[in-house]
Structure 1
Amino acid sequence: MVHTARRARRVTGAAAFAVVGTLALAACSGSSEAGTTSSASGSTEAAAELTPVSVQLQWLTQAQFACYYSALDQGYYEDEGLDVTIIPGAVDIVPIDVLTSGGADYAVSWVPKVLGSIEQGAAVTDVAQIFERSGTLQIAFKDSGISSVADFAGKNIGSWGYGNEWELIAGMQKNGVTLADLAGGSTVQQAFDMNAFIAGDIDAAQAMTYNEYAQVLETVNAATGELYTPDDLTVINWNDEGTAMLQDAIWADADRLASDADYQATTTKFIKGTIEGCIYAKDDPQSAADIVTAAGSTLGTSHQLWMTNEVNKLIFPSTSGVGHINEDQWAQTVDLAMNTVNPEGATIITTEPPATAYTNEYVDAALAELTDEGVDVYGADFTPIDVTLNEGGE
């Protein structure tokens, strides 16, 4: 199956108002051609046949979600009979709360965050694990004296909080470093930027491979007048440390899955379209980056392309097919969630999650359909592109 370029099927936000205005002007032009009327009627009928679906993202519009925006733009969701609305996230939005309250049909969120919600009563199911690898890093300047996790003792270690800190804490525990061992006796509250790190207020900062790490590399080193380079940094990757936890997953309403046959079918279709969007972003990262920018992202051009490329690395090559939930990775995430202790002495969860916490039923059905259509769902030959970052990500 060849993924050919398609025009966007759905326009949202300010662009939507522009389109509406254009259509209104066209309607006022007094055109009475039968062909035009018939075409408009046909389009309306076709749109009415699509199943409305909404997905709540974990964060703002950016290439972290290139799979979804590419699937929408390229018509993969429409091919599955779906009319998808993508809802951007924000700091104060908890995707699972939106899902369980009926504000969206699906949600994208990190697994450890949702495991806590499940233990508290949220009836949701991980139906597709889009990111197979963790994108979380802890980075330090090489002159900081930090070359490993063991060197965190006595240092200012940054953390965003909001449930993003668990891999960091697990990594410290594995290396015999307690929160009390850090400068000040705990982590430093880190903003969602790298300003404090660049200023030297944080010795080792949290960074996503696809975002904050790039922010540092887009910054001019005052000592040299040139952009920082990877050679200036020590990078600790939780995948290498054995404390990586599953991140961006597609979550569905568990109760609806148990009782609604239409929702079950829609779930497979939504996953299938999303996987096709991931494959499109893999094959044409520049186009995917442009699609996300057009959807409303304010990130710079080089930063957006960097993000698309780095997200592709978290998905491809896929061990068992994009979205399939690998049992060993799920087990590691649950084990860390039950045994990693936060500053208050609590773990994410205290008991094993229920069997309904994840299922491969729908993603495997989607993968089977795509395989039958000749789509490579593994991307074994995936090769990242080289991205040159510009100052400020422009």
Structure 2
Amino acid sequence: MPIAKRFALLLVMIVASLILAACGQTPPAAPAAPTTEPAPEPAAELDPVRLQLKWVAQAQFAGYYAALDQGFYTEEGLDVTIRPGGPDIVPEQVVASGQAEFGINWMASLLATREQGVPLVNIAQIYTRAGMRHLAWADSGIASPEDFAGRNIAVWFGGNEYNLLATLSKFNLDPDTDLNLVQQPFDMNLLLNREVDAAAAMTYNELYQVLSAGHTIEELNIIDYNELGTAMPEDGIFVSETWLTADPANKDIAARFVRASIKGWAYCRDNVDSCVDSVLSQDSGGVMTREAQTWQMNEVNKLIWGDPIDPSTTVGFLEPALFDFAAATALEFGVITQPADPAAYTHEIWETASP
């Protein structure tokens, strides 16, 4: 095309655009440049861990179920599976074998297991008071452990017998010759049917079973191991020392687990009904009652937060004096044969978990 014609055509286009503008119209806009939306960040992966309980789901463990249901574990980046216990499950064995990262059990059992060469370590002491008692009928003539001589005394084994064994040793009673120890099932029928002279009971469970069977406190003589000086810490969180030190990340996981768990227990202190709901939701067999679990939740709160409830209680921190007492009691009364290793507990995880 000649230059003149090209110039004329260009002029026509310019004039046309001016006419459109004068009519209030605008030429079509050029296509917008494609925009790149930032890709959504992938959700952070949760660290999967397992908690092995000492017994079946009940309000004894409500704080852990609350931490799960209220999202406290998720907030800490944890995917927690809670494994119920049972009569044939020993939490120390489960944790030592790597089938769970965390376990719940009593200090005496941990010390006895550790003496056998299993490197378990308490990382948080949740219960600040002991709930185990022995119950006898008031008309039985049993008012003190020294009255156990020649009697049938029921107790749970599998790590639950150590308070009793320590007490028998204190009163110079040989469990093999001076009385008859009976394997106690996980109900109170032996005592209720007077098939034994005394039976073990937790304040939050078996004591309620006896009372709900139509009996009163006045009908019972209650032997309290706290008063006898042979009660050792109950329901602490422990891990395998091998797991804890295998990877620096595991200490961080442990701290997050402890932090969320304590938050769960604080929630149960202030929200009894909600925590009972969490426990009842685990009852696939339909054997729990709201009344029993509410009793249990209130009694467990006393063991953690005191009676009356004191929200300022420092939960999770194992007082060195309490450990020393438990270790000395366990040694003196034959639960362990050598002085307890101070490495059986650590404050490092609790301190990391604390605000």
Same fold (TM over 0.5): yes
Segment drifting more, 55-64 vs 254-263 = 254-263
- C-alpha spacing 1:248/1:206, structure 2 compared with 1 (3 Å): same
The question of whether the paired residues in 2 share the 8 Å contact of 1:131 and 1:314 is answered with yes
Letter in 2 for 1:309: N
Match of 2:193 among 191, 194, 199: 199
Q: CA deviation at 1:274?
A: 0.4
Letter in 2 for 1:95: P
CA distance in 1, matches of 2:167, 2:173: 8
CA distance in 2, matches of 1:214, 1:152: 23
* 2:152 counterpart SS class: coil
Match of 1:229 among 191, 216, 228: 216
**Residue 325 of structure 2 corresponds to residue 332 of structure 1:** yes
Tell me the residue number matched to 2:117: 121
**Residue 199 of structure 2 corresponds to residue 210 of structure 1:** no
**Residue 98 of structure 2 corresponds to residue 105 of structure 1:** no
> Which structure is larger by alpha-carbon Rg, 1 or 2?
2
Match of 2:250 among 263, 267, 271: 263
- C-alpha spacing 1:355/1:333, structure 2 compared with 1 (3 Å): closer
CA distance in 2, matches of 1:152, 1:118: 30
**Residue 314 of structure 2 corresponds to residue 321 of structure 1:** yes
The question of whether the paired residues in 1 share the 8 Å contact of 2:166 and 2:335 is answered with no
The question of whether the paired residues in 1 share the 8 Å contact of 2:133 and 2:201 is answered with yes
Count of matched residue positions in the alignment of Structure 1 and Structure 2? 311
Q: CA deviation at 1:155?
A: 2.5
**Residue 231 of structure 2 corresponds to residue 244 of structure 1:** yes
Matches within 5 A, 1:54-69: 54-69=50-65
- C-alpha spacing 1:295/1:45, structure 2 compared with 1 (3 Å): farther
Structure 1 residue runs without a partner (length 5+) = 1-40, 220-226, 341-346, 370-394
- C-alpha spacing 1:352/1:176, structure 2 compared with 1 (3 Å): closer
CA distance in 1, matches of 2:289, 2:201: 18
Task: State the Cα deviation string for residues 37-73 of structure 1 (Å, max 9, x = none).
Answer: xxxx98x953x52211211111111111011001111
Letter in 2 for 1:336: T
Tell me the residue number matched to 1:151: 147
Q: CA deviation at 1:200?
A: 0.9
Structure 2 residue runs without a partner (length 5+) = 1-38
- C-alpha spacing 1:122/1:199, structure 2 compared with 1 (3 Å): same
- C-alpha spacing 1:253/1:169, structure 2 compared with 1 (3 Å): closer
The question of whether the paired residues in 1 share the 8 Å contact of 2:137 and 2:220 is answered with yes
Q: CA deviation at 1:115?
A: 1.4
* 1:85 counterpart SS class: strand
Tell me the residue number matched to 2:264: 277
The question of whether the paired residues in 2 share the 8 Å contact of 1:141 and 1:232 is answered with yes
Tell me the residue number matched to 1:372: none
* 1:323 counterpart SS class: coil
The question of whether the paired residues in 1 share the 8 Å contact of 2:138 and 2:221 is answered with yes
* 2:249 counterpart SS class: helix
The question of whether the paired residues in 1 share the 8 Å contact of 2:156 and 2:200 is answered with yes
* 2:222 counterpart SS class: strand
Tell me the residue number matched to 1:356: 343
CA distance in 2, matches of 1:335, 1:267: 28
**TM-score between both structures, scaled by the size of structure 1:** 0.74
Letter in 2 for 1:308: M
Superposition CA RMSD, Å: 2.1
CA distance in 2, matches of 1:68, 1:313: 17
Letter in 2 for 1:64: Q
CA distance in 2, matches of 1:180, 1:349: 17
Tell me the residue number matched to 1:304: 293
Task: State the Cα deviation string for residues 96-140 of structure 1 (Å, max 9, x = none).
Answer: 222122211111111111212212221221000111111110011
- C-alpha spacing 1:349/1:180, structure 2 compared with 1 (3 Å): closer
The question of whether the paired residues in 2 share the 8 Å contact of 1:69 and 1:291 is answered with yes
The question of whether the paired residues in 2 share the 8 Å contact of 1:214 and 1:303 is answered with yes
**TM-score between both structures, scaled by the size of structure 2:** 0.82
Q: CA deviation at 1:180?
A: 6.0
* 2:104 counterpart SS class: strand
Tell me the residue number matched to 2:68: 72
**Residue 173 of structure 2 corresponds to residue 186 of structure 1:** no
The question of whether the paired residues in 2 share the 8 Å contact of 1:153 and 1:181 is answered with no
